[in-house]
Structure 1
Amino acid sequence: MSFKREHWQCQLVSPSERLAHLRNSGHLSDITITFPGHSKSIQAHRLLLAMSSPAFEAMVYGPLAKDGQLALPEDPPEAFEWLLNHLYKNETQLSDARLATKVYLLASKYQLDNVCKICSQVLLNDVTPENFPDVFEFATLKEISHSS
């Protein structure tokens, strides 16, 4: 979809469409998230991160965000990418249990309880004979239950 840059807001009807546009385009982004050890970097918006999580608020408006950059060396880029798509676009589909475990760990770290619930549900529903040992070990370590 092509927009005149100065009128993109008028061409998108809902706030959710405008947020999705910001996520997809990086327009108005004010922070670059990097993953040292990986070549991936992501453009984001401090306000959206801060309004989503108390941990993000402290990070993006505190001393960790320097010069519009936030380095997250411990976070897997693909899981963080999914997390941002959820925050901007309310996406809830996780491709597999492996990704769900990575996203769960990020959600727990960043105090995103609702995302932990989404991941827990995926892990409960998508157990296969092949991934059972890994899912069981993860669930046992994280004490995931039906009530999560």
Structure 2
Amino acid sequence: MNRHERPTRHEHVKPHAEIAEVWPRDGHVRLVGHIHGRPAEGDWRLQLTRRGRPGRPLDYPARVKGDRFEGELPIADLVPSDPAETDEWDIHLTDGEARLRAGRQLDDIHGKKKIMVFPEQRVRGLRVRPYYTVKDNLSLECRTGAAI
């Protein structure tokens, strides 16, 4: 960088799984993005961790080519054993060493939680909807009953 260039906002963003596309349909949530700030070699998996209960994560294959990744999360796996429960699942991309939070940090849209609203899907009485957190990370909200 020469003396006339300013550092961009992206140079200070920690490594993460940058989400480009979210496709909630047909009983799955399909995610497409790229690995930011870390070499993308190796075998990567999408990992879902239940907020407040990190002990039993769910994980699914992720296809990686270059720094681009793609994977699907089946919503039927999120049906709680307690039908009155409401769950939130955080999404990470992991290669066994690194655990990168999935989110959308590299655009200039702040406050995605209120701006980007995804449709919900229903399976066996469960309503599942992807959403962006206040920190622009991607999570899944799962509820039983009437409304999300």
Could you tell me the TM-score, scaled by structure 2's length? 0.26
Structure with the largest fraction of helix: 1
Structure with the largest fraction of strand: 2
Higher relative contact order (CA 8 A, sep 6+): 2
Could you tell me the TM-score, scaled by structure 1's length? 0.26
